[in-house]
Structure 1
Amino acid sequence: MATSMSRISTSYSGISNPFHDVGYGDQEQDANMALTELDKGLRSLKSGTQCESVVRFPRLFERYPFPILINSAFLRLADVFRGGTNLLRWCILRVLQQSEKHLDKILNVEEFVRRIHGVIHSNDCIARALTLRAMGSIANIISEQKNVHHSIVNGLDSHDALEVDAAVYAAGRFSAMSKTFAANICDKIATMIGEIATPVDLKLRLIPILQHMHHDSSTAAKARAVCTELLQNFPAQKFMTLTLNTMTHLAALSLVDVEGQISLLILTIKEDPRKAVKLTALRNLNDLAKKAPHMWKYNFVEELLDFSLASTSYILKTAALLVLTTISGTFAFQLFLNKDVKEEDLSKILKACNMCYQSQHPLVSATATQLYTNVAIACQKSRMPIMTSQNEITEGAQLAIFTQTCLSAPESANNEVDALKTCLGCAVRLVKVFPEVAHYFVKQMIQQVEYASDINKKLLCECLLAIGSEDFSLIDKIIPDLMATFKQLVANIDFESNKETCMYLGTLMFQAAGGEFVPPDIRNLIGQYLTKAHNSWLSYKLARQAMRYGQFPLAADTFHSLSQQVASEHFHFWLMGLYSICAAESCLENLNGDVRKTMMKVSDMLMLYQQGLSSLKASSTVGFAVKFPCDFVSLRITLLQTHSQLVRTCNTFRTCPPPAIATALAMTNGQEISRCGQILSQLTKCMKDYEAVSEKFAGLYQSSFDADPQTLHRILLLQQSCEVMKSAILTVIKSNHARYLQFGAMTSTSKDPLTSAILGVQNSLNTLIQGNSGDALTYKHMDFLCQSVQTLVAATFTYPRYFFQKIQSTKLTLAVSPQQTSAIEPVLVHHQTHLAMKVEGIIHHGARREIYRKVGQVQVTVNSEPVSINQSAIADQKITLSLSNNLSQRVEPHSDYFTSNFLLMFPVPGLHKVYIKADFVDQNDTLWKTGQKVTVAVKSYDDTIHKKMPKPVRTSFGQMPPQS
């Protein structure tokens, strides 16, 4: 049980912060201690201890990735490289290769290179080879150093094979980084390849260097001419494949002669009889179709169609169809359909698509099916007036997917599984463009689940869930088939694959409910599965899915049962928190529209929610952060409290009529609505409460950089519900002409319960405005506000994926200098000088990075404010400068590291607080709050004030007044 539930820790845990909660001063101290320990090992007389210390440096760089330590460490390694053995040099070379992203943090580059490069003059060829490889490993920071270029050229002329091999490696690295070196070395490489004395294996290692000659058009043209000559002079298979790869890479990077390279590759697949050469050419064509589809012409597509139809090898046929699939999925193919494709051309395309029925190999059929799907989608998007009906193409793609699915589903071979994955992906893409075909796929796939192999059952269920996410009513139509399959699998629950399949089928039933609670018979059926499965991890996953689809009663029972089975304390609190949340939401079951009973249930919900929030906070540990779940639940509590307060305010209108003098006041003001002054003030307070909750949801959105799009959409919906209620209250309390200021309409094609509720409130508000022309506040307005609250509360509240899981994880660590030496001693600065503050940061990523969005820039903001200042200084001096600093700068991180510098002024002596924070800016220029903040105390002083202060005078005995 403990093993199963331990997976929960990874379901919401992000990456661990290597610095934990210590300050930067503690980090620097720990780094210095670690570096001292490694330096002690380097000074050892034992070779093994020295090597052990060297290989531990990459781990040190990952834990403390700041320039001061890295610079010192690399300089120390350079010393060891200069005076150590070849074994130590080899270990240092591996450290350089493993720590490439930290090389740009070396501050003394010249000194670092000087120490390493000195070994190039050694009489030991192995030492020179290691030096050349070390130079190549750090090419990104020394790419333009001429002495290193000269050493590489000399290494290519060496008579030692090991040194030449190292020089080839360094030449390739420098050619990719340096335009000057690439232009100078091109002729040298061409000469060496052309010489008869050059060994064949060396020629094969020299050819890939030419792919880096892409810095300017003249060098690229020269490199391409050399490669073209190689194709003519060296027709051997190894030379042909390597040269074609080099030319393709060169063309893709330089964007010169892309069309010529495509023509060459097509000519190669037509004329060269060797299968390996043709396969290499087709793979290169696929790369060019991905990187430069706009450079293709339709005659290239025609040549590939002819080749795929004529080829007898299934490997070559698959490769050719894969190129056609890639190009058909681009915008260029849509242009072909509009301008170049005629009726006979379209028939040839469809003939290639129909190979999905003719081939017995699953990969050929699956690739042809993918081509068929791309053609159908392209025809729809291009809206071209084609001779063949669009329906015929769509039905053909639909039939191809179904046929291949039927053939591959019962099989468990790897190629059959890959083919099924491809076809199911095509089905989902086709449903998004043609929603009318969805019911066909859903009906057929649920019938195949029963007969599919163990691994394919999961794939079919995932495809059904993907289609159901587009329209859950499609799954609702196959509930009888779902239940029949579910019962059959539960009867054979001893098989592990059936347990997981049942979990997916249960999720499908939740999805089909569309936010409504599932009927008792389905709940009982799922309960039987959970009892028989005896798998705590699958039970947790199913309960988690139940929360995501609003099935809280079933989830509450499951979480309560699991909480009694875990050994870890924080797992117990986590599960108990989820149980309390589900129990709270279960209170909304069987609502009958009575606002009074709904508010009573809301009171019960708030009590259970407070218990759940306390349990969630108790479950938090260093490696199991629950900040987002706690914030999300806290906002849910605040929103329910705001709804409840609004209903109480509306009830006050019924129980507390206006005073007798209110009518006279209304006649005096000329506004009938002013009769209810007390209610107006209470409604205004409720409106401000909704506005505050809306701002908190906006803040939660901005702080969720790693959240998936569905989670962000859910937060926006909740914020929109607050805005709708705020607008409704504002419309009620404002004067007659102001009521017609309607808020922006919200449109959505989804059938989400919360979306429907928001739209319902908006429509009711519009109806109320149009049907009421009076200026007074009436019971209709109060009833409308109460019914709006009832509608929003009754809408099923679902918990997004980010509440449970982080698919991507991104964290930020800041370091500021100068830093306080201790917590009570501020940084000292003279009031007439500027304080130079340097802000450094490291971005940490989890195992899967930049799935939804990536960090484009980091916005560093520095603010300061005086805490206690010398008032006499302000009185004596005319202070014209601001007492505070407000600076901001955007920097682009390089290798997950960034640095920023600020000049701060503190013109008034006294104590000041400086606040430094950093936020992410994604690739779309959207600002995301990271929550990273550093505070530094600064003391500004003035020497003249200290001089003016009276000094204590010690009276001598001779100056003492006489005693009477």
Structure 2
Amino acid sequence: MEDSYATSRDQADGHKALLELEKQFNKKARAATLSIQGSQIQALTGFIHMFEQYPYPVVINAAILKLADWFRLHNNSVKYYVYKVFKDASDLHLTKVINIEETVRRILPILGSNDPIARSISLRVLGCMSMIIAEKLDVQFAIIQRLELATDRNELEAAIWAGDQICARSNIFPSVIFSKVVDKLQDKQTPFEIKLRLVKIFRHMHQDIGMARQAKLTCLVLLEDPNTDSKLVIVTLRTLTLLLSQAVIDRKEQINRLLDYALNDQREDICYNVLYDLVLLGKNDIMFDETHIIRLLQMITTTKQRRIQQKAMQCAQTLIETHRKLIVRIIKSDVSLAVFMSYVEECERIMHHSIKQQHYTNMITSARLLYSILRIAFAHKVDENAMDVDMPVLSTLTALGHRVAETITQVDLKLIKEEKSITQSNRFRLRELLKIKADFCLLLEDWDCDATFKNTYTLLTDADDDTAGVLLPYLSTISKKCRKLTSWFPQEAIEELQKRINRPSVYVNLIRLLFRTTESNHKITTELVRLLHEFGSWDRGTECYLKNGWNLYLIGKEAGSCQWFELMHLIMKDLRKRVETEASYCWLSALSSLAQAEHSLSKKEASSNLYIQSMLDLKALRSFDQPRFDQIWFIQLRMEFIQAIERTKAIFTANMTSKKLARQMQTSAVMFRKIAFRYDFIAQAQFGIGKEVLNAIESYKLRALICEHAARTLMGSDQVFICVDPSLIPLITEPETAVPHRRVDTTGYLMHQSKQFLRKVTAWEELAHLESDDRRQICGQDLMHILDAILAEPLILPKSFFKNRKNVNIQLTTEPMLSEQKPITLQQDEDLVIKFEGLVQVNPHVKQLEKKIKKAVTVCFVTAEKILHLDDRIGVNMIFSEPAQMLQAENNQSLLIQPPTVYAANVRNSYFTYTGLLSLPKSKTRELLPKTKKEAWVNVFVKILDENSGIWSIGPLQWGKVIW
């Protein structure tokens, strides 16, 4: 509800901002010789900021019309700055323009002007508006006319650019402009620079196959002309690549054409750009085959130009990663394998030659290419359960991997020992080399990572701080495969920390490495607290840190992510004493209480009050900083799950009759199922949050379902019909795999543990022959073991838990506005016509999510009472998301006056709108007593539909009273 009022207030502020800009633009001119005032420039440049701050259709429409008026009435200097506004305006802003006709009517007449500069600027503005005027025939005719009549070069270039922009958006215009472009390209009088721009338009001619083929033939004529300049060859090949990839014709022919140019053309700039074209065409193209990979490797080994060789290796790596099956086919082929292996060995020689010449970039690129080949080959071996005996090439590739890793080791040792203080360029090279080496170390099964870790750590102890900063991330990566670190590394790390105390970045990274490689224990925690007191200049009098506060916070976050909860609690508790804002105090208090709760749980002490305190601190934080709800939800579900487990243990250990125990266990099963549903819901609210969080939530959901299944089946098959939840079936059917290392793959370890739990529960079916008491005793022991094991696992805190930002936020307004204080009043037999208008705001850090959002799904339902008092925040959101299902589950289905109505609207440039009809139920009482008024609550919730048809419950939720 607050969103609606805030939106109305923002719209009013937007109009005020527009009036201020207009006032500034119309400010009385002072004596000056310039054709535009400084105040006018300042006003015009303020429009984009206004669009960003007030992105509402009513504000943007008024502003665009005002700009169009100024464009029509003022001189070329004003026109130019208006054009810059249109150029900088995003599609998100332009898509909200409703008065398109009025805007175009103000701009088109300028094309009849005698001033070529004014006409050029007008064409540029029309090009900027292409997304909303692409199908307007008057605009298309005007651009064609200027393309034919323009004699001024600037105007002709502007006409070509505008035509290109319209072609990209229009379904009709490409066929209209096609013949004009062909005529100008074939005209010998057309300047070379104009041809360069014209030929690019062909990339949009893919909507009609016949036109696409004609465009292709025109391009080929240009390529076959021996007098064609290399720039035009590059542009024509790029245009052909883009055209054929969209038209889905002759792509294999184009791949071969590009490879012919790469192998046979002597012009370096053409070869370089052709390789980029291959990547554009080869990605996700099924026409790419083994011969193309072989020819690309041939180019790598035959070219003498280092720049081309490096680009070719990058191209080959990209295409090999995209078309992995091609490497598998080559390895299985007796014909291609020998040639392929000879080129691979040549790539290794190129790497050695690059080292001798100190061309480290080339050496790194070749090592990456070899790594991609080896990884795909080894992955195929695992997938197909193939043996080395069956594929002798694998042993050859393994030996190659060892040689590459050893070669890189020699190079990085040289870079480290060469200079006492490593230079910035060498630091970059060393970092890239170590990344590649880490990849090879983890890939090769028989590589001794423990020895490598120890040797590198020995180097680190003698290295300067800059070198240590490069080595630490590498050690963190290869530690995933180390199994002997606990015997020596913790004590060594503590000694090294004492040496690096004056270098905060190295200090923090070294502690991170310790956390990631070592299980938490009280002895090491005590040692680390002592060191941290020295690092943070601990003041015994005030009992707080005096410096390095931010670095200590980073250490505390890493401690939480690595499940060192005792240390996290101590750090956050002490840090909050020196914060400057109440929001920071609440945040650190919440983290401290959460960590203390987990530490108490590990010692089998009461923890519920600490979880509650953590949630209360987060709720207090909302009054300052508006954090995400899912942080509170994550803690709340953790507490509910623990309480359900403890309740179940208490029930089973109590002295009850079989019937009473069966009833109580069924109640516990319902609790576990509800918790699983709640985990499932908060996963749906995590759009774009990353696999780490989703995997953690999924693992807890499956554990809750396993507990439910165990509780239902404990008392035997005579109670109720028991079936396995579909989500658990993969745990039963998946083949047995090696146990993942707990510190390397925590969620993988939990999933493996869950498989063992489920198999133990399903094995109870084999105990049917036993007496009920004997069966219950055995099953009860198993259940207690499962519940204790779940409690023993610390909470997984994903890194995103510590980020106080929401990836996607939706601003929703409704017309009429939904309000509790001002109810909507309808006449007799009148339906509610409601308009939804929304803006999907994506956090700038994850801007790529914008393209994945396809639709906004608005759930609208009517209830007899206000929903918000029925349950906690998770429960309320679940009801708003799935009203019929959730109200029935809560035994409140009588509240739902009629089934929910769902409206779906396309999200275009982050904006959506939909006008729906909501029919309210007619009552018999109303027919008998016409003057009787009924009231109900209209509730609205927004979901988003992504490109894979996944539905995400983002919100917001709104509600308002209606009287009819």
Q: Indicate the TM-score class for this superposition, using the shorter chain for normalisation.
A: 0.7 to 0.9
Match of 1:228 among 220, 223, 230: 220
Question: For residues 856-875 of structure 1, what are the structure 2 equivalents within 5 Å?
Answer: 856-865=854-863
Q: CA deviation at 1:103?
A: 1.9
For residues 497-518 of structure 1, the C-alpha deviation after alignment (integer angstroms, 9 at most, x for no partner) is xx333433323332333xx423
Q: Give the SS at the match of 2:266.
A: coil
Q: Which residue does the alignment assign to 1:691?
A: 673
Structure 2 counterpart of 1:356, one-letter code: M
Q: Contact 1:475–1:511 at 8 Å: present in 2 too?
A: no
Match of 2:16 among 20, 25, 33: 33
Q: Which residue does the alignment assign to 2:121?
A: 130
Q: TM-score, normalised by structure 1?
A: 0.82
Q: Contact 2:712–2:722 at 8 Å: present in 1 too?
A: no
Q: Give the SS at the match of 2:697.
A: helix
Give, in whole Å, the separation in 2 of the partners of 1:512 and 1:826.
Answer: 60
Q: Which residue does the alignment assign to 2:46?
A: 56
Q: Which residue does the alignment assign to 1:348?
A: 342
Q: Contact 1:183–1:219 at 8 Å: present in 2 too?
A: yes
Give, in whole Å, the separation in 2 of the partners of 1:652 and 1:464.
Answer: 51
Question: For residues 376-775 of structure 1, what are the structure 2 equivalents within 5 Å?
Answer: 376-382=374-380, 388-404=392-408, 406-408=410-412, 410=415, 426=436, 435-437=445-447, 439=449, 442=453, 446=457, 449-450=460-461, 457-458=468-469, 460-468=471-479, 472=480, 474-479=481-486, 482-483=489-490, 486=493, 489-493=496-500, 496=503, 499-513=504-518, 516-518=519-521, 520-521=523-524, 524-525=527-528, 527-528=530-531, 531-532=534-535, 534-589=547-602, 591=603, 598=604, 601=605, 603=606, 605-621=607-623, 623=625, 625-653=627-655, 673-674=658-659, 677=660, 679-734=661-716, 736=718, 744=728, 746=731, 749-750=739-740, 751=742, 752=746, 754-755=750-751, 758=754, 761-762=757-758, 765=761, 770=766, 773-775=770-772
Give, in whole Å, the separation in 1 of the partners of 2:247 and 2:23.
Answer: 49
Give, in whole Å, the separation in 2 of the partners of 1:20 and 1:466.
Answer: 45
- 1:848 maps onto 2:845 in alignment: yes
For residues 291-332 of structure 1, the C-alpha deviation after alignment (integer angstroms, 9 at most, x for no partner) is 53x323444333333332222222121112222222222234
Give, in whole Å, the separation in 1 of the partners of 2:311 and 2:626.
Answer: 46
Give, in whole Å, the separation in 1 of the partners of 2:717 and 2:199.
Answer: 81
Q: Which residue does the alignment assign to 1:247?
A: 240
Change (3 A) 1:388 1:419: farther
Higher alpha-carbon deviation: 740-749 or 44-53: 740-749
Q: CA deviation at 1:722?
A: 2.4
Higher alpha-carbon deviation: 888-897 or 641-650: 641-650
Structure 2 counterpart of 1:64, one-letter code: Y
Q: Which residue does the alignment assign to 2:957?
A: 933
- RMSD in angstroms over aligned alpha carbons? 3.5
Q: CA deviation at 1:862?
A: 1.3
Q: Which residue does the alignment assign to 1:837?
A: 834
Higher alpha-carbon deviation: 319-328 or 296-305: 296-305
Give, in whole Å, the separation in 1 of the partners of 2:849 and 2:99.
Answer: 37
For residues 425-467 of structure 1, the C-alpha deviation after alignment (integer angstroms, 9 at most, x for no partner) is 5556657765554737656654565577766655544344445
Higher alpha-carbon deviation: 450-459 or 253-262: 450-459
Structure 1 counterpart of 2:270, one-letter code: V
Give, in whole Å, the separation in 2 of the partners of 1:228 and 1:807.
Answer: 52
Q: Which residue does the alignment assign to 1:286?
A: 279
Question: For residues 80-479 of structure 1, what are the structure 2 equivalents within 5 Å?
Answer: 80-101=70-91, 102-156=93-147, 157-231=149-223, 232-290=225-283, 292=285, 294-329=286-321, 330-331=323-324, 332-339=326-333, 341-354=335-348, 355-360=350-355, 361-382=359-380, 388-404=392-408, 406-408=410-412, 410=415, 426=436, 435-437=445-447, 439=449, 442=453, 446=457, 449-450=460-461, 457-458=468-469, 460-468=471-479, 472=480, 474-479=481-486
Match of 2:56 among 66, 82, 85: 66
Q: Give the SS at the match of 2:67.
A: helix
Give, in whole Å, the separation in 1 of the partners of 2:424 and 2:196.
Answer: 34
Question: For residues 815-964 of structure 1, what are the structure 2 equivalents within 5 Å?
Answer: 815-819=813-817, 824-849=821-846, 854-865=852-863, 884=898, 886-906=900-920, 908=922, 910-940=934-964
Q: Contact 1:831–1:906 at 8 Å: present in 2 too?
A: no
Give, in whole Å, the separation in 1 of the partners of 2:428 and 2:249.
Answer: 36
Q: CA deviation at 1:531?
A: 2.6
Q: Contact 1:510–1:518 at 8 Å: present in 2 too?
A: no
Structure 2 counterpart of 1:863, one-letter code: F
For residues 828-869 of structure 1, the C-alpha deviation after alignment (integer angstroms, 9 at most, x for no partner) is 33333433221111111112226689323221111123569x
Q: Give the SS at the match of 1:342.
A: helix
Structure 2 counterpart of 1:826, one-letter code: P
Structure 1 counterpart of 2:947, one-letter code: Q
Change (3 A) 1:305 1:721: closer
Change (3 A) 1:386 1:723: closer
Give, in whole Å, the separation in 1 of the partners of 2:448 and 2:833.
Answer: 63
Q: Contact 1:707–1:806 at 8 Å: present in 2 too?
A: no
Change (3 A) 1:686 1:769: same
Higher alpha-carbon deviation: 531-540 or 320-329: 531-540
Q: Contact 2:684–2:951 at 8 Å: present in 1 too?
A: yes
Give, in whole Å, the separation in 1 of the partners of 2:390 and 2:632.
Answer: 56
Q: CA deviation at 1:548?
A: 1.4
Q: Contact 1:818–1:837 at 8 Å: present in 2 too?
A: yes
Higher alpha-carbon deviation: 740-749 or 905-914: 740-749
Q: Give the SS at the match of 1:273.
A: coil
Q: Give the SS at the match of 2:694.
A: helix
Change (3 A) 1:861 1:803: same
Give, in whole Å, the separation in 2 of the partners of 1:711 and 1:365.
Answer: 37
Give, in whole Å, the separation in 2 of the partners of 1:740 and 1:172.
Answer: 64
Give, in whole Å, the separation in 1 of the partners of 2:49 and 2:246.
Answer: 34
Q: TM-score, normalised by structure 2?
A: 0.82
Larger radius of gyration: 1
**Sequence identity percentage:** 21
Q: CA deviation at 1:237?
A: 3.5
Structure 1 counterpart of 2:702, one-letter code: Q
Structure 2 counterpart of 1:323, one-letter code: C
Q: Contact 2:500–2:506 at 8 Å: present in 1 too?
A: no
Q: CA deviation at 1:712?
A: 1.6
Q: Contact 1:490–1:502 at 8 Å: present in 2 too?
A: yes
Q: Give the SS at the match of 1:838.
A: strand
Q: Which runs of 5+ in 2 are unaligned?
A: 30-36, 417-421, 537-546, 867-895, 923-932
Change (3 A) 1:916 1:646: same
Structure 2 counterpart of 1:217, one-letter code: I
Q: CA deviation at 1:128?
A: 1.2
Aligned pair count reads 869
Higher alpha-carbon deviation: 542-551 or 43-52: 43-52
Q: Contact 1:553–1:583 at 8 Å: present in 2 too?
A: yes
Change (3 A) 1:399 1:899: farther
Q: CA deviation at 1:134?
A: 0.7
Q: CA deviation at 1:234?
A: 3.7
Change (3 A) 1:261 1:768: closer
Q: Which runs of 5+ in 1 are unaligned?
A: 1-16, 592-597, 659-672, 869-881, 941-964
For residues 502-545 of structure 1, the C-alpha deviation after alignment (integer angstroms, 9 at most, x for no partner) is 433323332333xx423624751574256336522222112111
Structure 2 counterpart of 1:236, one-letter code: D
Higher alpha-carbon deviation: 478-487 or 273-282: 478-487
